[in-house]
Structure 1
């Protein structure tokens, strides 16, 4: 199958990144979300992201007008009928994801693969609400999507080898490699990362060190490009909280108990970069 047109469901930070990566590599994109306000924000985020990509990849000739021309911003899910591959990026909330998959399963051609861009939700569970569980695969992109060369691919219980092979080919067209892992909550990356971030929040909450110093230790002692709390701000503290809650519910293990400070900050609207303030300030 040729991947001429890709459907991208969810026009948040990750969805915009996936759409940009697809458009930059010559694909047509149908980017779907629930209302025009979300799509207007997506257009603005795309412009910002394209400027950043051009700044850090001066050798890559990227024409913003051409990228925009390849992306169809829409609230009409029916347009996904022309997609040759679908990447879903909606919020980490099972009830929302379940409703989305039940909806798109009736629209998208039966042979088309669904890639679940999730940090913690079971791929097997997603597949169970579709008529094509063998064609449902996890595809955990990292942020910012156009600049990250590796994707964590997750095999659900029913995911076939043919689906995995097609997912590899799809990612190769985006200029990405992948590592295939099994379907357990959090997979590899977030089972470790979310626990690390949550523990870093506890350190700030308990007065062991301020956020800047926690991040500085990781960057200077371990040569990490970003500290755990800077990473949390980049991902979004609301997404971090939902992911930790999924791990806590899935494993029933107190080590995944969300830090009260994390819950408080999300309730206060301090979500990180997207709100202008999280553990650090961005305005």
Structure 2
């Protein structure tokens, strides 16, 4: 999701320094931004000048310390692993300016478990984007217990500038969006597991019957089954081990490497 966040920030005129675990991963992320912009041009939603301006504001840097050294805002978008996220923040904090805000894109982990890795807790906030970032209008801003009012206001200003419609929630596991979304997604997976209906028909029920733009199983494939599993495990641990217990089918598909669209197979083939 990091490339999508970089895309919308660069499109809004921010100078963006994107970093990743390797030069190859970084090159792939930058190419995905270009591909999304080119698709926008093909659909008549983006001009060539807008594409070129966006790419002109976007730079790649494989060294996190270098990338963070001049940042006003550091946004972490690594997998849903507490230790990994804390390590990213600790490394970025070595060189980030004192005024910099640190933000996490976590979709479920309580910020209280991450804030200890940043030097100034008042400058820590959650910025939860939604896939695909360049198309989805929502930004869920999570205010941790120590988040300062100035940080919150700067986060809201950022949301507006990148064209997102923000909501503000307090720091609880799953926040508002993931807690609701995962409940529907897990139940849809259980229905497939029980043979209630096919994945396509369950999705059609929600798309046509409840006017959801995308059914819960298509969305699970888009987000990634591994990401859905990580969210479910977090909510099962933090809120209710029964209500958010991952379905057996989800665990089996992830173990088999069937992670959804990114792997070519999940509940659908790609």
CA contact (8 A) 1:19 1:31 kept: yes
Residue 131 of structure 1 deviates from its aligned partner by: 1.2
- Please, which runs of 5 or more residues in structure 2 have no aligned partner? none
Describe the SS at the equivalent of 2:131: coil
- Would you say 1:195 and 2:195 are equivalent positions? no
- Would you say 1:152 and 2:140 are equivalent positions? yes
Residue 83 of structure 1 deviates from its aligned partner by: 0.9
Q: Distance in 2 between matches of 1:251 and 1:176?
A: 29
Matching residue of 1:66? 53
Q: Distance in 2 between matches of 1:221 and 1:97?
A: 39
Q: Distance in 1 between matches of 2:90 and 2:128?
A: 21
- Would you say 1:78 and 2:62 are equivalent positions? no
C-alpha root-mean-square deviation of aligned residues, in Å? 1.5
Q: Distance in 1 between matches of 2:17 and 2:108?
A: 25
- Would you say 1:108 and 2:108 are equivalent positions? no
Q: 1:122 aligns with which of 86, 110, 117?
A: 110
Cα gap change, 1:252 to 1:81, in 2 (>3 Å): same
Q: Distance in 2 between matches of 1:239 and 1:62?
A: 35
Matches within 5 A, 1:28-67: 28-56=15-43, 58=45, 63-67=50-54
Residue 50 of structure 1 deviates from its aligned partner by: 1.4
Q: TM-score, normalised by structure 1?
A: 0.90
Deviations 1:62-109 (A, max 9, x none): 543332232111211122111111111111111111111111122211
Q: Distance in 2 between matches of 1:253 and 1:60?
A: 49
Describe the SS at the equivalent of 2:262: helix
Deviations 1:99-146 (A, max 9, x none): 111111222112111111110011122112221111110111111112
Cα gap change, 1:134 to 1:251, in 2 (>3 Å): same
Q: Distance in 1 between matches of 2:197 and 2:255?
A: 23
Matching residue of 1:273? 261
CA contact (8 A) 1:54 1:62 kept: no
CA contact (8 A) 1:124 1:133 kept: no
Deviations 1:179-206 (A, max 9, x none): 1111100000000101111111111111
- Would you say 1:240 and 2:196 are equivalent positions? no
Q: 1:132 aligns with which of 103, 110, 120?
A: 120
Matching residue of 1:25? 12
CA contact (8 A) 2:40 2:46 kept: no
- The farther-off stretch of 201-210 and 170-179 is 170-179
Matches within 5 A, 1:203-242: 203-242=191-230
